[in-house]
Amino acid sequence: MRSTACSILLLCAVTQGVFAQTTDKAKADSLKKLGNNDREASMRQLNIKSIRRAPDSILKKNVDKDGLYGPIPDALTLTNGKKVTTAAMWWKQRRPELVEYFDREIYGRVPANTPKVTWKVANTEQTTHGGVPVIVKTMVGHVDNSSYPSINVDIQMILTIPANAKKPVPVMMELTFPEDYKQLDQTPGAEPSWQLQVLNKGWAYCMFLPPSLQADNAAGLTQGIIGLMNKGQYRKPDDWGGCRAWAWGASRALDYFETDKMLDAKRVGLEGHSRYGKTALVAAAYDPRFAVVYSSSSGEGGAKLHRHNLGEQVENLASGPYYWFAGNFLKYAGPLHTTDLPVDSHELIDLIAPRPVFIGGGANGDDWADPKGMFMAEVAAGPVYKLLGKKDLGTTQYPAIDEAVVGGDLGFRLHHGGHTPALNWATFIEFASKYWK
């Protein structure tokens, strides 16, 4: 009897081993068939032979009057040509059209059955920051990986809450670069760090680490949350890219805020710079719970008009960090052109409407992010804000350096520095304060 049981067990162990080997081999084979990496796999699926070089003149300032390759799409005209004249038409018809374009062609789709995230406080510390008593919670959000246990995803963030608050406080959340994570002083010198500025308002701040859920490179696309959902396989052309995955993670952080009695989850702001400036816009576009946004130097793939011929171009993203986007985005630097995009970035801003958005850039050394192109997108985003009863930028005139354009529900400022969010934080906090009295 015993020996039969033993042999059955042995047989099971052997077949399982063989099975594991075959699935590994099948996986390797199917990956190989598509190419040696995600880019090759995407290009093969899309039948793209090569990526076009970006035009050479993109950092020259003496462009023609508006510097556009072609007219930008009208946010208030349906694909069938009909004009959008009411808020209801915007919500029921035009906005869903735009969401579909951004999903399919630019940022990729979030899979339908994304797993549950369970947040745990890994560590709590009572301390002071800049003289303010605070509670610092180091948080880990474990993503349920029972569907594919060989990929583990633990989202990381640090939450710092004023200890003496009498009622739930607003949260300013930053999508933080790894090199800045756990650092308090990003701006040694004149200005206090953004974290201290936030604490001085009586608000909490959160530093959220995007690469903890999705690596910031193409090789990582078969791992992290994207890899987990694809069970280690390459992406399909309309699958989500890095920005959309990071944005999804930011929403999971907001889920946690809703459960923390010290926080007011109705007043959550989101800031990101550069690739995370793109991500902040995407996160707020897809999650209406983000109450106010600061997108800093987000450039191409963020607030900058794709069709503006300064700074980074679609072709640059396609030949560089294309993995922040859906595979389909590569098409626009292959067989198609920027002017074939069914949308432009003003419509990404419009997906956040009627919520307030502040956009910033630098006047000296931030040309790659094309502050002018970001400003133009914000101007073009205005009509939707107005249709929804809000105020646009209030000007079409590109402002002087350090002049804050914050009178409306769309805000803009070109600070005197380079590629940094630091020099616009004070203005952004002033902008957000209009809403969080």
Chain positions contacting ligand GCU, by CB under 6 A:
274-275, 299-301, 312, 316, 320-321, 368
Residue 284 contacts by C-beta under 8 Å, 6 or more apart in sequence? Answer: 270, 290, 293, 352, 355, 357
Query: How far is Cα 427 from Cα 436, in angstroms, rounded to an integer?
Result: 14
Nearer to ligand GCU among residue 129 and residue 275 (C-beta): 275
In the complex, least distance from residue 163 CB atom to ligand GCU, rounded to whole angstroms: 34
**Angle of CA points 239, 153, 111, to nearest 5°:** 25
In the complex, least distance from residue 85 CB atom to ligand GCU, rounded to whole angstroms: 36
Nearer to ligand GCU among residue 103 and residue 312 (C-beta): 312
Nearer to ligand GCU among residue 115 and residue 241 (C-beta): 241
Nearer to ligand GCU among residue 101 and residue 368 (C-beta): 368
Query: How far is Cα 369 from Cα 381, in angstroms, rounded to an integer?
Result: 18
Nearer to ligand GCU among residue 76 and residue 175 (C-beta): 175
In the complex, least distance from residue 374 CB atom to ligand GCU, rounded to whole angstroms: 11
Nearer to ligand GCU among residue 195 and residue 420 (C-beta): 420
Based on the number of CB atoms within 10 Å of its own CB, is 192 exposed (0-12), middle (13-18) or buried (19 or more)?
Answer: middle
Nearer to ligand GCU among residue 196 and residue 281 (C-beta): 281
In the complex, least distance from residue 243 CB atom to ligand GCU, rounded to whole angstroms: 10
Based on the number of CB atoms within 10 Å of its own CB, is 28 exposed (0-12), middle (13-18) or buried (19 or more)?
Answer: exposed
In the complex, least distance from residue 312 CB atom to ligand GCU, rounded to whole angstroms: 5
In the complex, least distance from residue 284 CB atom to ligand GCU, rounded to whole angstroms: 17
Nearer to ligand GCU among residue 221 and residue 317 (C-beta): 317
Query: How far is Cα 25 from Cα 402, in angstroms, rounded to an integer?
Result: 58
Instruction: Identify whether the C-beta of residue 384 lies closer than 8 Å to the C-beta of residue 377.
Output: no
Instruction: Identify whether the C-beta of residue 171 lies closer than 8 Å to the C-beta of residue 205.
Output: yes
Instruction: Identify whether the C-beta of residue 204 lies closer than 8 Å to the C-beta of residue 435.
Output: no
Query: How far is Cα 391 from Cα 379, in angstroms, rounded to an integer?
Result: 11
Report the candidate in 200, 204, 223 with the shortest Cα–Cα distance to residue 213.
Answer: 223
In the complex, least distance from residue 419 CB atom to ligand GCU, rounded to whole angstroms: 7
Nearer to ligand GCU among residue 246 and residue 368 (C-beta): 368
In the block, which residue shows the tokens 């052309």? Answer: 237
Q: How many CB atoms lie within 10 A of CB 292?
A: 26
Cα 186–chain centre separation: 21
Based on the number of CB atoms within 10 Å of its own CB, is 316 exposed (0-12), middle (13-18) or buried (19 or more)?
Answer: buried
Instruction: Identify whether the C-beta of residue 145 lies closer than 8 Å to the C-beta of residue 115.
Output: yes
Query: How far is Cα 14 from Cα 18, in angstroms, rounded to an integer?
Result: 6
Nearer to ligand GCU among residue 192 and residue 321 (C-beta): 321
In the complex, least distance from residue 99 CB atom to ligand GCU, rounded to whole angstroms: 23
In the complex, least distance from residue 424 CB atom to ligand GCU, rounded to whole angstroms: 16
